[in-house]
Amino acid sequence: MPGGGFVKLPNGSVVVALTLPRPVADAAGAPAVGPAGSVRVLVHAVNRARALTRLRNLGMRAVYLRGNTQPPTPDEVTAVLHHPDGLLWRTAPDDAEELWHPIRALLRGA
């Protein structure tokens, strides 16, 4: 089961971090889960439900947050807060030398 968690910020918004299987394209070009490894996805939103809805609207339909086993680190929170889209990803397990990518780069590669 994918790990994930959230942290509530002082202004009431949340940052949700999820470790998910990397999406690949199916025959129709829609994102589907494949054996390409895992990615860590960060989402900044008004609340947890809205964060998961943002991912579902991008085609990641089976995204759920169960528990708070892997909350975002302070570095992850800083990264997502400083990005204009509020949606970032990088391969998991975290590689300290890899930079965060906008979510469009993940879905374009699918």
Q: What is the DSSP string of 10-48?
A: TTS-EEEEEEEEEEEE-TTS-EEEEEEEEEEEEEEESSH
**pLDDT tens-digit series, residues 40-66:** 899 999 999 999 999 888 888 778 888
Mean pLDDT of 1-13: 87
For the chain, the average pLDDT equals 82
* Residue with the larger pLDDT of the pair 39 and 11: 11
The pTM of the full predicted model, rounded to 2 decimals, is: 0.81
**pLDDT tens-digit series, residues 20-43:** 887 665 544 444 444 567 888 999
Most confident of 68-77, 86-95, 99-108: 68-77
Beta pairing, strands 14-25 & 101-102: unpaired
